[in-house]
Structure 1
Amino acid sequence: MFETLLLFHVCKHQRSLFPKLVSYNRFAELEKEAALPITCFLKTCLSGDCTGIAFAGSACLKVFRNQRIYNHKIFKNIAGRGKSFVGRFFGFKLRLICSKKGEIINFVFAPGNADDRNPLKSDNLLKGVRGKFFADKG
């Protein structure tokens, strides 16, 4: 879906807004290198404060379709095969904790095959959370 947006909309209609736009293949190579700096930026600059009530949730981030697992090598050793209520996928799970105001308190990326309960058992994800904490069953 992102490839379609990049190739058919941005490259044709918004080229002037992105003068140093790279090809999709080059973008896919750079994506892996940019993941850690973007995560650090989000953790340090955009995190909110706990208001006494916090909610946990998770979302699936598909890297690509299941049929392309063996063709793509970009996230080969990082992503994993997982299962969600929608179906099977290859990618990551985003687990986040937000306040009652909707501000993100903390988040973590994990391979798609990781158990949803494990990050909640660690102290790193629950750092900064106080008061009541709600999460779904999984």
Structure 2
Amino acid sequence: MKNLVELYCDVDDFCKVFIPQWQKQLLDDGTQKRRRDGRLTTSEVMTIVIGFHMSHYRDFKNYYLGYVSVVHKKAFPHLLSYTRFLAIMPRVIVPMCAYFTSLKGKPTGIEFIDSTSIKVCHSFRIPRHKTFDGIAQRGKGTMGWFYGFKLHLIVNYLGEIVAAKVTTANVHDTRPVAEMAKGLTDKLYGDKGYLSKALEADLFEEGVTLITTVRKNMKAKALFLWDRAMLSKRFIIETINDQLKNISFIEHSRHRSMNGFMLNLLAGLVAYCLKKDKPSLNLTDVERNSMVIA
């Protein structure tokens, strides 16, 4: 885990390149506007937000008031009040999204795909939940029905996130695959939720072979030994989903706006990307060459 100084240096180096280019592309409505620098720079705000997801704190208020404002007061001499900081946080959603894109891993020819639920409230509170009214949807996962969204991920065998997409909970797992798989090569492994002859054919035309498990009432597929071995290694993406929820803390039920939800999710993904020790498969060159031969 990076400390805040290392994290700030990484974020600031990125912002020095991205922010000027981003501002050039912003549309102008013709009115003259002042662009005064805030007390906290974009780099500082992003560092504090990402740092929360790399810490052991489980609520942002205690992290900000009990850790950043006390331990790192000298590092952030122009620190804002907690309420004011919450108000300016949505400003960094676009830079945070771009930063995450810059941290994503590269396709390796051995990728895994899966989705995980992002609940926004307990099932009993759905009728009176207002924050995501008309946005979040009910969906069903392996753990039953839930209300919220789905996070779809493609990761490589090194444990790096290659592609990510958020949908409402009622979207089938197969729908975002074609878009997410652009740029992939060779093999993509998924569970039986991705069974689709149409999807398999579409991906094959793009040079990607989709390999999935089968349902209990289906005949077993004829697969190469390598592909069977890789299907048994799908725990890597399940481990990543678990770490995103329980370490990077991308899921909680205290959101007060869609902006807050998206920023929390993006910062959690960034925090995972910056981890030094990611779950990975220790594949040797001999093993990877055997895949090519197969």
| Global fold match (TM > 0.5) | yes
Which 5+ residue runs of structure 2 have no aligned equivalent? 1-56, 74-78, 194-294
Does 1 or 2 have the higher relative contact order (CA < 8 Å, sep 6+)? 1
Structure 1: stretches of 5+ with no match in the other structure: none
Alignment of 1:131 onto 2:186: yes
Kindly name which structure, 1 or 2, has the bigger radius of gyration based on alpha carbons: 2
Query: Aligned in 2, Cα 1:34/1:114: closer, same or farther, shift over 3 Å?
Result: farther
Q: Aligned partners of 1:87, 1:21: CA distance in 2, in Å?
A: 41
* The one of 141, 146, 150 aligned to 1:84: 141
Amino acid at match of 2:149: F
- How far residue 6 of structure 1 moved from its aligned partner, in angstroms, is 2.3
Give the share of equivalent positions with the same residue, in percent.
31
Q: 1:75–1:22: structure 2 CA closer, same or farther, 3 Å change rule?
A: farther
TM-score (norm 1): 0.74
Q: Residue by residue, what CA displacement relative to the aligned partner does 1:30-56 show, whole Å, maximum 9, x if unpaired?
A: 88x5795344432x2121111111110
- 1:110 has 2:167 as partner: yes
- What is the alpha-carbon distance in structure 1 between the residues aligned to residue 155 and residue 143 of structure 2? 23
Question: Where does residue 51 of structure 1 map in the other structure?
Answer: 108
Q: Which amino acid aligns with 1:51?
A: T
Q: Amino acid of the residue matched to residue 132 of structure 1?
A: K
Check 1:45–1:11 CA distance in 2 against 1; reply closer, same or farther (3 A cut): closer
Q: Return the structure number with greater strand share.
A: 1
The aligned runs of 1:1-138 (5 Å cut-off) are: 5-6=58-59, 9-10=62-63, 13-14=66-67, 15-16=69-70, 17=72, 19-20=79-80, 22=82, 33=90, 37=94, 38-42=96-100, 44-120=101-177, 122=178, 124-138=179-193
Deviations 1:47-104 (A, max 9, x none): 1111111110111111111222233322223221111111211111111101111111
**Matched AA of 1:10:** Y
Please state which structure has a larger fraction of its residues in helix.
2
Distance of 1:49 and 1:77 partners within structure 2: 36
CA distance in 1, matches of 2:92, 2:121: 16
Secondary structure of 1:69's partner? helix
Q: Is residue 62–residue 91 contact of structure 1 (8 Å, CA) maintained in 2?
A: yes
